[in-house]
Chains A and B, each alone.
Chain A
Amino acid sequence: MEGEQATAIPTFDLISRAQNGDQAAFEQLYRKYAGRVYAVCLRLSANTRHAEELTQEAFVRAWQMLATFRGESDFFSWLYRLTVNVVFTDMRSKRRRTSRVMTTDDLSVFDQKNSSGMDSATIDLEKAIAALPKQARAIFVLHDVEGYRHEEIAGMMKLSVGTSKSQLHRARRILREALEA
Chain B
Amino acid sequence: MKCEKVKILLDDFVDGLLPEAGAREVETHLGECKDCQDEFQSLQALLEKASHLPKAIEPPRDLWPEIETKINAQTNAQFGWKNLLWGRNAGASKPLDASEAIREQAPSKRWHMSPRLLIASMIVLLVGGYWLYLQSHRPSWGVENLAGSCKVGSDYIEKTGRLVVGEWLETDEISRAQINVGMIGKVEVEPNTRIRLLQARITDHRLDLAQGKLHATIWAPPRLFFVETAAALAIDLGCEYTLQVEDDGSGLLHVIAGYVALESHGRESIVPAGALCAMRPGIGPGTPYSEDATLALREALTKIDFENGGAEELDIVFRDSRFADTFTLWHLLVRVEPALRPQVYDRMTELIPPPVGVTREGVLRGDRKMLDKWAETFGLGYSWWKYWLPL
Contacts and interface: CB of A to CB of B under 8 A. Distances in A.
Contacts of B59: 34-35, 38, 51-52, 55
A135 B74 CA distance: 33
Interface in A1-37: 7, 20-23, 26-27, 30-31, 34-36
Given A98-B247, A176-B43, A39 B54 contact: yes
B40 to A, nearest CB: 11
B134 interface: no
Contacts of B64: 27, 30-31, 34
B194 A94 contact: yes
A21 B37 CA distance: 57
A35 B235 CA distance: 55
Contact of B53 (A34, A126, A179): A126
Interface residues of B, number: 46
B156 A91 contact: no
B71 A113 contact: no
Contact of B173 (A56, A135, A144): A135
Contact of B98 (A23, A34, A42): A23
A65 to B, nearest CB: 12
Interface string B47-72: 10111111111111101101110110
Contacts of A42: 57
A99 to B, nearest CB: 11
Interface string A167-181: 011001001100110
Contacts of A59: 63, 67
A19 to B, nearest CB: 9
Contact of B174 (A35, A112, A135, A169): A135
B149 A92 contact: yes
A176 B67 CA distance: 38
B3 interface: no
Given A92-B149, A126-B53, A158-B149, A21 B103 contact: yes
Most chain A CB atoms below 10 A, which of B51, B59, B100: B59
A169 B385 CA distance: 52
Contact of B50 (A94, A113, A145): A145
A38 B60 CA distance: 10
B122 to A, nearest CB: 30
B268 interface: no
A101 interface: no
Given A60-B74, A135-B173, 14 more contacts: A23-B98, A30-B63, A36-B55, A55-B63, A56-B66, A56-B67, A56-B70, A63-B71, A92-B149, A113-B57, A122-B49, A122-B53, A145-B53, A158-B149
10 contacts: A21-B100, A30-B64, A35-B59, A36-B56, A52-B59, A52-B61, A60-B71, A94-B170, A94-B172, A97-B172
Interface of B: 11-12, 42-43, 46-47, 49-61, 63-64, 66-68, 70-71, 74, 97-103, 148-149, 151, 156, 158, 170, 172-174, 192, 194, 247
